[in-house]
């Protein structure tokens, strides 16, 4: 092989090793998002024309020039293909037996109970299943402690899909209590303002006008009791210190907002609703804005996430039943492990 040809080969390759008899090199190319690494063997000029023209054929095992194989070779010795940014294949577990092997990633649905944080749910599952090798676990979309409903939990490789699941459209149902405003916009904090109202303020016409004005592309100011970072600090940390931080409005999309029922009992005015909205929508803020547009104040007393994309809370595990399933699987895993010893 002439020096000119060898120089051309070097320029076309990512890594190249050469001896007096042969050259091994690896070439990277990207076609349609697929990264391919190939192993080529080029015989020296003393080889026949046939062997030198076939650059992708392996060298002869018996006699003739042999390819020099360095101790440290970039890439595998054989041709392989790897898709860049490929969506990992995961198991969407629907029951009944919790899988012992989560090496390929696991996705399942939990009906989060009240007073549990989303982090608490994941921490409990991780602590129970760590004997089966579970190291990475996460959830797709935080629910407030007061809220209940659908929580998507991902394990292992499935954590790479958390952003994909979290970006899906969400559906909530809830109840608004009129006339009282709280610091957090829900029933977890004290009332900070009351505002009496009558039928002249809250009626069918005013509710319909307020509802219609909150459908479509709108802007929301994140509540102080939220996990949004401002100047390197979470808003709820500042709120617990009694501070109010300036927040910038954020664009969100409300696909549907419907009033299901209005109830008045013992001077308590409640409105049941259903809303379908984009990622990043604060339903607490939506409820406050709804009341403000009617000329009063209010806060959430109930919130439940019904759907995330095509995932439905009807298919979710109740947390106590899920923990029982995990406990049984962990015991079986330990018994099998002990039997092999």
Query: Position of tokens 């600090």?
Result: 233
CATH topology of domain 170-308: Pseudouridine synthase (3.30.2350)
| Boundaries of every domain in the chain | 3-83, 91-167+312-340, 170-308
pLDDT score at 1: 56
Residue 278, token pair as written in the block: 């984009």
pLDDT score at 4: 58
| DSSP 3-state percent helix, strand, coil across the chain (nearest 5) | 30, 35, 40
3-class DSSP state for residue 254? strand
The pLDDT tens digits for 62-92 are 444 444 444 443 444 433 333 345 666 677 8
3-class DSSP state for residue 247? coil
Residue 69, token pair as written in the block: 């194989």
Mention every residue, 6+ apart, whose C-beta is less than 8 A from residue 216: 253, 254
| pTM higher than the cut 0.85 | no
Catalytic residue among 144, 163, 186, 217: 144
The pLDDT tens digits for 228-276 are 888 888 888 888 888 888 888 999 999 999 999 998 876 789 999 999 9
Asked about 144 being catalytic, the answer comes back as: yes
Whether the Cβ atoms of residue 305 and residue 181 lie closer than 8 Å to each other: no
Whether the Cβ atoms of residue 108 and residue 153 lie closer than 8 Å to each other: yes
pLDDT score at 88: 64
CATH architecture of 91-167+312-340: 2-Layer Sandwich (3.30)
Helices 118-129 + 319-340 axis angle, to 10: 20
pLDDT tens per residue across all 341 residues of the chain: 555 554 555 554 444 444 433 444 444 444 444 444 444 444 444 444 444 444 444 444 444 444 444 444 344 443 333 334 566 667 788 777 888 777 778 999 999 999 999 999 999 999 998 888 888 999 999 999 999 999 999 999 899 999 999 999 999 999 999 999 999 999 988 999 999 888 888 899 999 999 999 999 999 998 888 878 888 888 888 888 888 888 889 999 999 999 999 988 767 899 999 999 999 999 999 999 999 999 999 999 999 999 999 999 999 999 999 999 999 988 888 887 777 76
pLDDT score at 341: 62
Distance of CA 290 to the CA centre of its chain: 29
């Amino acid at each position: 092989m002439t020096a000119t040809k060898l120089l051309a080969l070097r320029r076309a390759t990512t890594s190249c090793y050469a001896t007096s008899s042969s050259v091994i090199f690896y070439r990277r190319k990207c076609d349609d998002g697929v990264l391919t690494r190939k192993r080529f063997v080029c015989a020296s000029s003393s080889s026949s024309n046939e062997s030198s023209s076939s650059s992708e054929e392996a060298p002869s095992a018996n006699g003739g020039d042999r390819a020099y194989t360095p101790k440290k070779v970039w890439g595998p010795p054989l041709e392989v293909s790897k898709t860049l940014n490929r969506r990992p294949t995961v198991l969407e577990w629907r029951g009944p037996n919790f899988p012992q092997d989560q090496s390929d990633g696991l996705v399942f649905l939990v009906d989060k109970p009240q007073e549990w944080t989303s982090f608490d749910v994941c921490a409990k599952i991780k602590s129970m299943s760590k004997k089966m090798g579970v190291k990475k676990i996460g959830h797709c979309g935080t629910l407030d402690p007061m809220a209940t409903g659908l929580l998507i939990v991902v394990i292992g490789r499935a954590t790479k899909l958390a952003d994909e699941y979290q970006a899906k459209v969400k559906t909530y149902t809830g109840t608004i209590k009129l006339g009282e405003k709280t610091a957090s916009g829900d029933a977890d904090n004290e009332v900070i303002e009351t505002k009496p109202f009558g039928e002249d303020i809250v009626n069918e016409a005013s509710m319909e006008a307020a509802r219609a004005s909150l459908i479509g592309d709108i802007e929301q100011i994140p509540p102080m009791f939220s996990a949004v970072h401002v100047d390197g600090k979470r808003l709820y940390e500042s709120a617990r210190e009694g501070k109010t931080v300036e927040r910038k409005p954020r664009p969100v999309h409300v696909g549907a907002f419907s009033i299901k029922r209005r109830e008045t009992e013992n001077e308590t005015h409640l409105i049941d609703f259903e809303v379908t909205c984009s990622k990043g929508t604060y339903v607490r803020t939506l409820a406050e804005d709804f009341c403000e547009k009617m000329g009063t104040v209010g806060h959430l007393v109930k919130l439940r996430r019904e759907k995330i994309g095509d995932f439905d809370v009807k298919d979710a595990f109740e947390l106590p039943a899920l923990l029982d399933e995990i406990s049984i699987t962990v015991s079986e895993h330990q018994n099998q492990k002990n039997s092999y010893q």
